[in-house]
Structure 1
Amino acid sequence: MRLLSRIVPLVLLAGCTPQASAAPTTPPPPAGPMTVRVDARDAAQMVLHAKVRVPARPGPLTLVYPKWIPGHHGPVGRVADISGLRFLAGGQPLAWRRDSVETSEFAMTVPAGAAAVDVELDVVADPRWFPSDGLSSISWEQVVLYPKGARVRDLRVEPSAQMPSGWRYASSLQVAADTAGAVNFRPTTLEMLVDSPVILGRYGRSFDLGTAMGTTHSLEVVAESKDALQASDARIATYRRLVAEAGALFGARHYDRYTFLLMLSGSAGADFNGTEHHASSQNVTAANFFTSDDGGRYTRWLLPHEFAHSWCGKYRRPKGLATPDYQQPMRNDLLWVYEGLTHYLGWLLSARSGVVSTQDALDDLAAMAADLDAIPGRKWRPLADTTFTAAFGAGSNRPWYSAQRGFDYYPESLLVWLEADTVIRQKTDGKRSLDDFLRSFFGGANTGAEVKPYELGDVLKALSDVVSYDWKTFFEQRVSAITPRVPLGGVEAGGYKLGYHDKPSDFQAMWERTTHQLDERSTLGVALDDKGVVLDVHLDGPAGKAGLPLKASLVAVNGRKYSPEVLRRVLADTSAKGPVELLAERDGFFRTYRVAWGGGARYPHLDRDPAKPDVLGAILAPRVPPPSVTSGTPAR
Structure 2
Amino acid sequence: MRTAAGLGLVFGVLAVGAVGGCAPEAAAAPTTPRASLTGPIRVQVDARDVPQMVIHAKLTVPARPGALTLVYPKWIPGTHGPTGKVADISGLRFSAEGKPLAWKRDPEETSEFALNVPSGASAVEVELDVVVDKRWGETADVSDLNWNRVVLYPKGARARDVQFEPSVQVPAGWHYATALRRVSQGADAVSFQRVSLETLVDSPVIMGRYGRTIDLGTALGAPHALEIVSDTGGAVDANEKQITAYKRLVAEATTLFGARHYDAYSFLYILSSDGRSSSGLEHHASSQNLSMPGLFAKDDEFRAASKLLPHEYTHSWCGKYRRPKGLATPNYQEPTHNELLWVYEGLTEYTGWLLAGRSGLSQAQDSKDHLALIAATLDAIPARKWRSLGDTTYTPAFGQESNRPWYSAQRARDYYPESLLIWLEADTLIRQKTSGARSLDDFLRAFFGGASGGAEVKPYELGDLLAALNRVAEHDWKAFFEQRITEVAAHAPLGGIEGAGYRLAYRDKPSDLQGVVERVSKTLNERFTLGMVVNDKAVVTDLHFDGPAGRAGLVEGSILVAVNGRKYTAELLRRTIAENKGSASPIELLTERDGFYRTHRVAWNEGGRYPYLERVASKPDTLATMLAPRSR
TM-score range, shorter chain: over 0.9
What letter corresponds to residue 470 of structure 2 in structure 1?
A: S
Q: Does 1:432 align with 2:438?
A: yes
Select 1:451's aligned residue among 441, 447, 457: 457
Q: CA deviation at 1:201?
A: 0.4
Q: Which moved more, 1:389-398 or 1:220-229?
A: 389-398
Q: Does 1:239 align with 2:240?
A: no
Partner of 1:363: 369
Q: Is the 8 A contact 1:223 1:287 kept in 2?
A: yes
Q: Does 1:486 align with 2:489?
A: no
Q: CA deviation at 1:71?
A: 0.5
Partner of 1:43: 50
Render the CA deviation track for 1:4-32: whole Å, top value 9, x for unaligned. Answer: 03268797589843343343595452321
Aligned CA distance change for structure 1 residues 80 and 11 (closer, same or farther; 3 Å): farther
For residues 65 and 117 of structure 2, the distance between their equivalents in structure 1, rounded to whole angstroms, comes to 5
Q: Is the 8 A contact 1:85 1:120 kept in 2?
A: yes
Q: CA deviation at 1:397?
A: 4.7
What letter corresponds to residue 480 of structure 2 in structure 1?
A: F
Q: Is the 8 A contact 1:26 1:61 kept in 2?
A: no
What letter corresponds to residue 501 of structure 1 in structure 2?
A: R
SS at structure 2 position matched to 1:227: coil
Q: Is the 8 A contact 2:30 2:158 kept in 1?
A: no
Q: CA deviation at 1:562?
A: 1.4
SS at structure 2 position matched to 1:93: strand
SS at structure 2 position matched to 1:473: helix
Q: Does 1:623 align with 2:624?
A: no
Partner of 2:560: 554
Q: Is the 8 A contact 1:17 1:325 kept in 2?
A: no
Q: Does 1:284 align with 2:285?
A: no
Render the CA deviation track for 1:587-611: whole Å, top value 9, x for unaligned. Answer: 1111111111121110011111111
Select 1:71's aligned residue among 66, 78, 84: 78
Aligned CA distance change for structure 1 residues 12 and 190 (closer, same or farther; 3 Å): farther
Partner of 2:19: none
Unaligned ranges ≥5, structure 2: 17-21
Q: CA deviation at 1:276?
A: 0.2
Render the CA deviation track for 1:276-331: whole Å, top value 9, x for unaligned. Answer: 00000000110011111112210121111000000000000000000000000000
Q: Does 1:329 align with 2:335?
A: yes
Q: CA deviation at 1:566?
A: 1.5
For residues 456 and 98 of structure 2, the distance between their equivalents in structure 1, rounded to whole angstroms, comes to 38
Partner of 1:6: 7
Q: Does 1:592 align with 2:592?
A: no
Q: Which moved more, 1:561-570 or 1:27-36?
A: 27-36
Q: Does 1:52 align with 2:59?
A: yes
Q: Is the 8 A contact 1:137 1:199 kept in 2?
A: yes
Q: Is the 8 A contact 1:61 1:108 kept in 2?
A: yes
Q: CA deviation at 1:530?
A: 2.3
For residues 477 and 66 of structure 1, the distance between their equivalents in structure 2, rounded to whole angstroms, comes to 36
For residues 119 and 421 of structure 1, the distance between their equivalents in structure 2, rounded to whole angstroms, comes to 52
Aligned CA distance change for structure 1 residues 466 and 387 (closer, same or farther; 3 Å): same
Q: Is the 8 A contact 2:24 2:458 kept in 1?
A: no
For residues 23 and 512 of structure 2, the distance between their equivalents in structure 1, rounded to whole angstroms, comes to 42
For residues 284 and 29 of structure 2, the distance between their equivalents in structure 1, rounded to whole angstroms, comes to 25
Q: Does 1:214 align with 2:236?
A: no
Q: CA deviation at 1:532?
A: 2.1
Select 2:198's aligned residue among 166, 183, 191: 191
Partner of 2:420: 414
Select 2:551's aligned residue among 545, 570, 576: 545
SS at structure 2 position matched to 1:572: helix
Give the alignment's TM-score, normalised by structure 1.
0.96
Partner of 1:343: 349
Counterparts of residues 2-401 of structure 1 (less than 5 Å): 2-6=3-7, 16-23=23-30, 27-180=34-187, 182-269=189-276, 271-393=277-399, 397-401=403-407
For residues 23 and 456 of structure 1, the distance between their equivalents in structure 2, rounded to whole angstroms, comes to 26
For residues 544 and 583 of structure 1, the distance between their equivalents in structure 2, rounded to whole angstroms, comes to 14
* RMSD between aligned residues: 1.5
SS at structure 1 position matched to 2:108: coil
Render the CA deviation track for 1:548-569: whole Å, top value 9, x for unaligned. Answer: 1001111111222211122112
Q: Is the 8 A contact 2:231 2:272 kept in 1?
A: yes
Partner of 2:618: 611
For residues 425 and 6 of structure 1, the distance between their equivalents in structure 2, rounded to whole angstroms, comes to 31
Q: Does 1:495 align with 2:501?
A: yes
SS at structure 2 position matched to 1:260: strand
Q: Which moved more, 1:609-618 or 1:29-38?
A: 29-38
Q: Is the 8 A contact 1:126 1:139 kept in 2?
A: no
SS at structure 1 position matched to 2:503: strand
Unaligned ranges ≥5, structure 1: 626-636
Q: CA deviation at 1:624?
A: 1.5
Q: Is the 8 A contact 2:15 2:283 kept in 1?
A: no
What letter corresponds to residue 300 of structure 2 in structure 1?
A: D
Q: CA deviation at 1:504?
A: 0.4
What letter corresponds to residue 67 of structure 1 in structure 2?
A: K
Aligned CA distance change for structure 1 residues 473 and 484 (closer, same or farther; 3 Å): same
For residues 173 and 24 of structure 1, the distance between their equivalents in structure 2, rounded to whole angstroms, comes to 27
Partner of 1:632: none
Partner of 2:524: 518
SS at structure 2 position matched to 1:29: helix
Q: Is the 8 A contact 2:92 2:126 kept in 1?
A: yes
For residues 13 and 240 of structure 1, the distance between their equivalents in structure 2, rounded to whole angstroms, comes to 18
Q: CA deviation at 1:579?
A: 1.6
For residues 261 and 604 of structure 1, the distance between their equivalents in structure 2, rounded to whole angstroms, comes to 34
Q: Is the 8 A contact 2:13 2:349 kept in 1?
A: no
Render the CA deviation track for 1:130-155: whole Å, top value 9, x for unaligned. Answer: 11110011110000000000101001
Partner of 1:631: none
Q: Which moved more, 1:167-176 or 1:386-395?
A: 386-395
SS at structure 2 position matched to 1:519: strand
For residues 206 and 172 of structure 1, the distance between their equivalents in structure 2, rounded to whole angstroms, comes to 13
Q: Is the 8 A contact 1:10 1:407 kept in 2?
A: no
For residues 260 and 349 of structure 2, the distance between their equivalents in structure 1, rounded to whole angstroms, comes to 19
Q: Is the 8 A contact 2:35 2:62 kept in 1?
A: no
SS at structure 2 position matched to 1:222: strand
Q: Is the 8 A contact 1:7 1:401 kept in 2?
A: no
For residues 416 and 448 of structure 1, the distance between their equivalents in structure 2, rounded to whole angstroms, comes to 31
What letter corresponds to residue 105 of structure 2 in structure 1?
A: R
For residues 385 and 520 of structure 2, the distance between their equivalents in structure 1, rounded to whole angstroms, comes to 31
Render the CA deviation track for 1:120-178: whole Å, top value 9, x for unaligned. Answer: 01111122111111001111000000000010100111101111110010000000111
For residues 117 and 603 of structure 1, the distance between their equivalents in structure 2, rounded to whole angstroms, comes to 62
Aligned CA distance change for structure 1 residues 514 and 345 (closer, same or farther; 3 Å): same
**Share of identical aligned residues, percent?**
61
What letter corresponds to residue 4 of structure 1 in structure 2?
A: A
Q: Is the 8 A contact 1:19 1:324 kept in 2?
A: no
Q: Is the 8 A contact 1:498 1:606 kept in 2?
A: yes
Render the CA deviation track for 1:52-71: whole Å, top value 9, x for unaligned. Answer: 11111111000000000100
SS at structure 2 position matched to 1:121: strand
SS at structure 2 position matched to 1:388: helix
